[in-house]
Amino acid sequence: MRARLLGIMTLIGCMLLHGCAVFSPSYTKPEVSLANVEMLKSNLWEQSFRLKLRVDNPNDRVLPIRGMHYQVYLNNMKLATGVSNNRFDVPAYGSSYFELDVRSNLWRHLADLIKLVDKQQPVDYRIDGNIRTGMLLAPSINLHEEGTLDPSQLSF
């Protein structure tokens, strides 16, 4: 009787562990890259930009995106922080684009930005954040995208 109870408990435990694996599948980290930067409006106190990001899903199942928190840096100056509740799905072995509307107060960085513009040289950027997948018990995906922007190719 005791052996039978132990066997049943072991079987239930295995089923529960397998169930957790089904509800929290492991994903290969998607690639996130900056596709475009567009200035929406600008005044002395606030500037609005639209960042277009591409998410490439290397997995064999749909990757649900349910929101994110991010910080944007130019040459290690924190340009903006924010959150987005954009909800979309990235198809299996596919790509999706999404846009972030970013607001910033460049006034405090004005002197440094004038130097960057005067040099007309490429500017390093970095976007850090966390992407929430919305899957049960799934961890957030860390976002770390960096590269170089050529000022002559920005659409203002």
| 78-133 pLDDT tens trace | 878 888 888 889 999 999 998 888 877 766 666 666 666 666 778 788 888 888 87
- Sheet of 95-104, strand order: 31-42, 47-56, 95-104
Q: Please report the pLDDT score of residue 91 as a whole number.
A: 94
Average pLDDT, the chain: 76
Domain count for the chain = 1
Question: Is residue 15 in some structural domain?
Answer: no
**Better pLDDT: 27 or 42:** 42
Question: Is residue 69 in some structural domain?
Answer: yes
**Domain that includes residue 113, residue range:** 27-153
Q: Please report the pLDDT score of residue 154 as a whole number.
A: 54
Question: Is residue 144 in some structural domain?
Answer: yes
What whole-number distance in Å separates Cα of residue 133 and Cα of residue 155? 31
Domain harbouring 31, CATH code: 2.60.40.10
Question: pTM for this structure?
Answer: 0.65
Q: Please report the pLDDT score of residue 135 as a whole number.
A: 61
Question: Is residue 117 in some structural domain?
Answer: yes
In this predicted model, what pLDDT tens digit does every residue of 28-65 receive, in sequence order?
A: 778 888 788 788 887 777 778 888 888 899 988 888 88
Q: Helices marked H in the chain — which ranges?
A: 2-23, 110-119
Q: Please report the pLDDT score of residue 68 as a whole number.
A: 85
Contact 133, 20 (CB under 8 A): no
Question: Is residue 39 in some structural domain?
Answer: yes
Question: Is residue 16 in some structural domain?
Answer: no
Question: Is residue 81 in some structural domain?
Answer: yes
**Local confidence band at 14 (pLDDT 50, 70, 90 cut-offs):** low
